C-alpha cells in the first residue's frame, strides 16, 4: 500500500471552501482549480495523487454539492480523515468511492506527514512521527460499495445481477 | 412500540412495522426533488453509466433556481440541458424560473404530510414544516434514487426542541434557529432528526415553521420536522395538494435522544457574525457594524411573511443612502401576493430594489453579490466565507426584521427600535 502526504485543516471546513458557489456553473476542470482557495491557495496547485485530506470536526458542513468531495478526488486525494463529517458530504464521498474515515486523533497529524492507511482495519500509520492511529471501520455495505469504486459501478453491477 | 413522527414515516417508507434509531433500512421514495445544479446536468452521465432509466417520472420534481435569470453562457447551457431532459423523460412536475425549490415544492401542491422525500439540496429538510420527512442528498445518491426509487438510510435519533412561550415583537423564527445554532453548534444535531414543538411553534405561521426546518441543515440535522396541524392542511389545500389527513404525530411516550428547551419570551433578535451561523449572538453585540448591502432573499428568508416583516419595519421610511436594500422574493407566487396586498410597494417606496426569484445573493450570484471587502446582512441561511460574494466579503445573518432595520440605519440595527 502506497503512502501519501497529509494536508491538515481545522474544524468546520465547509463545502463552499472546497467548491466555491461562484464557479459551480463552470465545467468541472475549472471548478477544481478553486478548491480551498479562500483558506489555502496552495492546496489546489500542490495536492497530488495519493495525498490524504485531514480535518477536525464536521468536515464538509454545508451544501449538498458533490463537487466538494469530487474536487478532492480529482486533485488526487485518496483518503479523507476527520474527527466527524457533515452527513451529506460523508455520503457523497463514499458514493464517489472516496473513503471518508472517522479518526478521533487527527490532531496528531501535521501537514506534510506521510500516512499509510488501511481502510479495512482502520489503521493509520504516520510514517513521519512513527505513530499508529485508529479510524472507525466502515459498515460492511459501504466497504463493499467502495471496493467496487462507488455507488455508480455498484448499482450497475447490482442492476445487471437483478436483470440477469 | 412508541415512535417519533420521523420513525413512523421511515417505517412506512421501508414497509415495516417499526424502526429503531441506528438501524439501516431501505426506503421507497415518494418524491425526488432536484434543481438545475444537482439535477439533469449531473444526472445524465451517471444514469448512463449505471445503465438505468428514471424509475418513475411522475415521482420526480425538477425546479430551476440556482442558475436562473441567466446572464452567461454556462447558465444558459444548464437551463437548456434541464429543459430538454425533463421533456425527454416525461417529467411533468417541472417548474422553470418560478422560484426557489424549497418554496416551490410545497407551492406546487406536491407535498402531503407523511411523505418520505429526498432532495438534491442540503436545505431539503424545509419540507418538514409540512409534516414530511425529507433529506438532502448529493448528486450520486440522487442517481441511485432515480435509477431504483429507493435509498438506504440509517434511522436517526430524534431530538425534540420545545420552544415554550410566545415570541416577543420584532423577534422571529429566524432568531430561534440562529440562537439554537449558537447553542448546539454546526454539528449539534449531526445525523439527527430535529422535531420542533411547543407553544411558539404552534403559534407560528407555516412560513415561519419553514425557517426552523430549513435551517435544521445548519445544525447538521438529517432533517427537521413539525407535526402537521390544521394550519398546515389549509396551507397545502390552498396550494392544490391532494391532502386527506394530517399524516403522523409522535407518540406521547416516544423516545428522544435529547430534549432541548428554549424559552421564546426572553429571546432577542439574533445576528450571526462571519463566517458561521453558529456565531449568532443577540443583536446588541453587533449593532453599529456598517453594511453596504441588506438582502432579503433565499428559501430561508424571503417568503411572504418575511416580506411583510420587512415592510412593517420600513413603512414610510427611507433606507440609508449608502446601503443597497435588495429584495428577492422566494417565488413568483410570493411576489404576486406581496404585490397584490401592497407589501412590494411599501418596500419599493422605502428604496428596495426588487430582484427576480432565485438563489442569487444567497450564493453570491447576480446583482446582490457582495464585492471585495463589502459587508452585508442577509436573511438567508449561511454565511460561510465567500458564499455571498467575494472572498474578502463579510456576511452577517439575521431575520427579515433585522435586515430591514439595518437597511434603514446603514448599520446592523436592532429591529425592536422600529416595530
Ligand atoms: S436560496 Fe440559498 S439556501 Fe436556498 S436553495 Fe438557493 S442556494 Fe440553497
Q: CATH number, domain at A23? A: 3.20.19.10
Grid cell of B251 as nine digits: 407518540
Average pLDDT, chain A: 95
The answer to whether the CB atoms of A84 and B222 lie below 8 A apart is no
Q: What is the CATH number of the domain that holds B192?
A: 3.30.499.10
Query: Same domain for B14 and B49?
Result: yes
Query: Same domain for B25 and B91?
Result: yes
DSSP B170-230: T--HHHHHHHHHHHH-TTTTTTPEEEEESHHHHHS-HHHHHHHHHGGGGGT-SEEE----H
B363 reaches A (C-beta below 8 A): yes
Q: Are A146 and A119 in contact (CB under 8 A)?
A: yes
Which residues of chain A have a CB within 8 Å of the CB of B364?
A: 21-22
Query: Same domain for B57 and B187?
Result: yes
pLDDT of residue A164: 60
Strand ranges of the sheet holding B31-35, from the earlier edge strand across to the other edge: B93-96, B60-64, B31-35, B116-119, B133-136
Residue B70: pLDDT above 90?
no
Query: Same domain for B251 and B299?
Result: no
Strand ranges of the sheet holding B158-164, from the earlier edge strand across to the other edge: B223-225, B193-197, B158-164, B258-263
pLDDT of residue A140: 86
**8-state DSSP, B280:** E
Query: Same domain for B307 and B231?
Result: no
Q: Distance between CA atoms of A60 and A94, rounded to whole angstroms?
A: 13
Distances (CA, A) of B293 to A12, B322, B328, B387: 26, 9, 13, 15
Nearest residue (CA) to ligand 1, atom 4 = B299
B387 reaches A (C-beta below 8 A): yes
The answer to whether the CB atoms of A22 and B364 lie below 8 A apart is yes
- Residue A162, C-beta contacts closer than 8 angstroms, at least 6 positions apart: none
Cβ-in-10-Å burial (0-12, 13-18, 19+) of A128 comes to middle
Query: Same domain for B151 and B45?
Result: yes
Residue B218, domain extent: 5-262
Confidence band for B71, pLDDT divided at 50, 70 and 90: confident
The answer to whether the CB atoms of A25 and B42 lie below 8 A apart is no
The closest CB to that of A25, out of B67, B143, B385, belongs to B67
CA distance A66 to chain B (A): 5
The whole-number average pLDDT for the span B385-412 is 97
Query: Same domain for B169 and B238?
Result: yes
Cα angle B82-B84-B89, degrees, rounded to a multiple of 5 = 95
Backbone angles phi, psi at B227, to 5 degrees: -60, 140
The answer to whether the CB atoms of A152 and B365 lie below 8 A apart is no
CA A109 and chain centroid, separation: 16
The whole-number average pLDDT for the span A103-120 is 96
Q: Are A64 and B122 in contact (CB under 8 A)?
A: yes
Distances (CA, A) of A157 to A154, A162, B54, B145, B187: 5, 9, 17, 16, 35
Confidence band for A65, pLDDT divided at 50, 70 and 90: very high
Parallel, antiparallel or unpaired: strands A100-102 and A79-82 = parallel
What's the B54 CA to ligand 1 centre distance in angstroms? 25
- Of the candidates B356, B359, B352, B404, which has an alpha carbon nearest to the alpha carbon of residue B377? B404
Cα torsion at B35, B32, B187, A51 (round to 10°)? -70
The closest CB to that of A92, out of B138, B276, B382, belongs to B138
Query: Same domain for B101 and B244?
Result: yes
Query: Same domain for B85 and B180?
Result: yes
Q: Distance between CA atoms of B19 and B8, rounded to whole angstroms?
A: 8
Ligand 1: residues with CB < 6 A are: B 65, 100-102, 121, 123, 298-299, 359, 362-363, 380-381
Confidence band for A42, pLDDT divided at 50, 70 and 90: very high
Q: Distance between CA atoms of B384 and B373, rounded to whole angstroms?
A: 15
pLDDT in tens, B203-262: 999 999 999 999 999 999 999 999 999 999 999 999 999 999 889 999 999 999 999 999
Number of domains in chain A: 1
CA B151 and chain centroid, separation: 22
Q: Distance between CA atoms of B259 and B335, rounded to whole angstroms?
A: 38
Query: Same domain for B20 and B155?
Result: yes
Query: Same domain for B253 and B134?
Result: yes
B25 reaches A (C-beta below 8 A): no
Residue after which a domain boundary falls, among B204, B227, B262:
B262
Q: Distance between CA atoms of B377 and A10, rounded to whole angstroms?
A: 26
Confidence band for A162, pLDDT divided at 50, 70 and 90: confident
CA distance B115 to chain A (A): 20
What's the B177 CA to ligand 1 centre distance in angstroms? 17
The answer to whether the CB atoms of B364 and A160 lie below 8 A apart is no
Residue after which a domain boundary falls, among B241, B262, B283:
B262
What's the B394 CA to ligand 1 centre distance in angstroms? 18
pLDDT in tens, B21-60: 999 999 999 999 999 999 999 999 999 999 999 999 999 9
Number of domains in chain B: 2
What's the B14 CA to ligand 1 centre distance in angstroms? 29
The whole-number average pLDDT for the span A117-141 is 93
Q: Are B357 and B100 in contact (CB under 8 A)?
A: yes
CA distance B340 to chain A (A): 34
The answer to whether the CB atoms of B384 and A14 lie below 8 A apart is yes
Query: Same domain for B14 and B115?
Result: yes
Residue A17, domain extent: 3-161
Q: Distance between CA atoms of A137 and A118, rounded to whole angstroms?
A: 10
Nearest residue (CA) to ligand 1, atom 7 = B359
Cis previous bond, B275, omega within 30: yes
pLDDT in tens, A124-133: 999 999 999 9
Q: Distance between CA atoms of B375 and B393, rounded to whole angstroms?
A: 6
Grid cell of B403 as nine digits: 435586515
Which residues of chain A have a CB within 8 Å of the CB of B372?
A: none
- Of the candidates B320, B301, B419, B335, which has an alpha carbon nearest to the alpha carbon of residue B375? B320
Search chain B and give the residue with CA nearest A142: B152
Residue A2: pLDDT above 80?
no
- Residue A125, C-beta contacts closer than 8 angstroms, at least 6 positions apart: A3, A115, A116, A117, A131, A132, A133
The whole-number average pLDDT for the span A6-12 is 97
- Residue B387, C-beta contacts closer than 8 angstroms, at least 6 positions apart: A16, A21, B362, B363, B364, B395
pLDDT in tens, B312-356: 999 999 999 999 999 999 999 999 999 999 999 999 999 999 999
Amino acid at each position: 500500500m502506497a503512502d501519501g502526504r497529509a494536508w491538515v485543516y481545522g474544524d468546520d471546513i465547509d463545502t463552499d471552501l472546497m467548491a466555491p458557489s461562484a464557479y459551480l456553473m463552470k465545467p468541472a476542470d475549472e471548478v477544481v482549480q478553486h478548491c480551498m482557495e479562500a483558506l489555502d491557495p496552495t492546496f489546489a496547485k500542490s495536492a497530488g495523487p495519493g495525498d490524504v485530506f485531514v480535518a477536525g470536526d464536521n468536515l464538509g458542513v454545508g451544501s449538498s454539492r458533490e463537487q466538494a468531495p469530487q474536487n478532492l478526488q480529482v486533485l488526487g486525494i485518496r483518503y479523507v480523515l476527520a474527527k466527524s463529517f457533515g452527513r451529506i458530504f460523508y455520503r457523497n464521498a463514499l458514493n464517489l468511492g472516496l473513503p471518508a474515515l472517522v479518526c478521533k486523533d487527527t490532531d496528531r497529524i501535521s501537514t506534510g506527514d506521510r500516512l499509510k492507511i488501511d481502510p479495512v482495519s482502520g489503521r493509520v500509520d504516520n510514517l513521519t512521527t512513527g505513530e499508529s492511529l485508529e479510524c472507525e471501520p466502515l459498515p460492511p455495505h459501504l466497504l463493499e460499495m467502495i471496493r467496487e469504486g462507488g455507488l455508480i459501478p455498484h448499482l450497475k453491477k447490482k442492476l445487471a445481477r437483478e436483470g440477469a | 412500540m412508541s415512535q417519533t413522527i420521523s420513525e413512523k414515516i421511515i417505517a412506512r417508507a421501508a414497509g415495516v412495522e417499526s424502526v429503531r434509531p441506528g438501524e439501516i433500512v431501505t426506503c421507497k421514495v415518494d418524491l425526488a426533488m432536484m434543481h438545475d445544479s444537482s439535477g439533469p446536468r449531473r444526472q445524465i452521465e451517471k444514469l448512463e453509466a449505471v445503465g438505468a432509466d428514471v424509475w418513475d417520472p411522475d415521482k420526480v420534481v425538477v425546479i430551476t433556481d440556482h442558475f436562473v435569470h441567466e446572464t452567461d453562457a454556462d447558465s444558459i447551457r444548464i437551463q437548456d440541458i434541464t429543459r430538454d431532459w425533463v421533456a425527454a423523460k416525461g417529467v411533468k412536475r417541472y417548474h422553470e424560473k418560478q422560484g426557489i425549490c424549497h418554496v416551490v415544492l410545497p407551492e406546487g401542491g406536491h407535498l402531503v404530510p407523511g411523505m418520505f422525500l429526498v432532495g438534491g439540496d442540503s436545505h431539503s429538510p424545509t419540507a418538514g414544516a409540512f409534516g414530511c420527512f425529507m433529506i438532502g442528498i448529493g448528486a450520486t445518491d440522487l442517481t441511485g434514487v432515480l435509477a431504483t426509487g429507493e435509498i438506504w438510510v440509517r434511522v436517526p435519533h430524534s431530538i425534540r426542541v420545545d420552544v415554550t412561550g410566545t415570541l416577543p415583537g420584532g423577534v422571529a423564527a429566524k432568531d430561534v434557529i440562529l440562537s439554537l445554532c449558537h447553542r448546539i453548534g454546526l454539528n449539534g444535531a449531526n445525523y439527527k432528526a430535529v422535531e420542533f414543538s411547543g407553544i411558539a411553534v404552534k403559534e407560528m405561521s407555516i412560513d415561519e415553521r419553514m425557517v426552523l426546518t430549513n435551517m435544521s441543515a445548519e445544525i447538521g440535522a438529517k432533517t427537521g420536522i413539525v407535526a402537521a396541524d390544521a394550519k398546515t392542511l389549509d396551507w397545502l389545500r390552498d396550494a392544490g395538494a391532494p391532502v386527506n389527513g394530517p399524516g403522523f404525530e409522535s407518540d406521547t411516550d416516544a423516545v428522544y435522544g435529547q430534549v432541548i428547551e428554549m424559552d421564546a419570551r426572553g429571546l432577542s433578535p439574533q445576528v450571526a457574525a462571519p463566517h458561521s451561523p453558529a456565531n449568532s449572538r443577540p443583536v446588541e453585540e453587533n449593532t453599529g457594524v456598517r453594511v453596504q448591502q441588506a438582502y432579503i432573499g433565499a428559501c430561508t428568508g424571503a417568503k411572504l411573511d418575511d416580506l411583510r416583516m420587512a415592510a412593517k419595519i420600513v413603512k414610510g421610511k427611507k433606507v440609508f443612502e449608502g446601503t443597497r436594500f435588495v429584495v428577492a422574493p422566494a417565488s413568483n407566487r410570493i411576489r404576486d401576493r406581496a404585490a397584490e396586498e401592497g407589501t412590494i410597494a411599501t418596500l419599493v417606496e422605502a428604496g428596495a430594489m426588487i430582484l427576480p426569484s432565485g438563489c442569487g445573493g444567497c450564493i453570491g450570484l447576480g446583482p446582490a453579490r457582495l464585492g471585495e471587502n463589502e459587508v452585508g446582512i442577509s436573511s438567508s441561511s449561511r454565511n460561510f466565507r465567500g458564499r455571498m460574494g467575494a472572498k474578502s466579503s463579510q456576511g452577517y445573518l439575521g431575520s427579515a426584521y433585522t435586515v430591514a432595520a439595518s437597511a434603514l440605519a446603514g448599520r446592523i440595527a436592532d429591529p425592536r427600535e422600529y416595530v
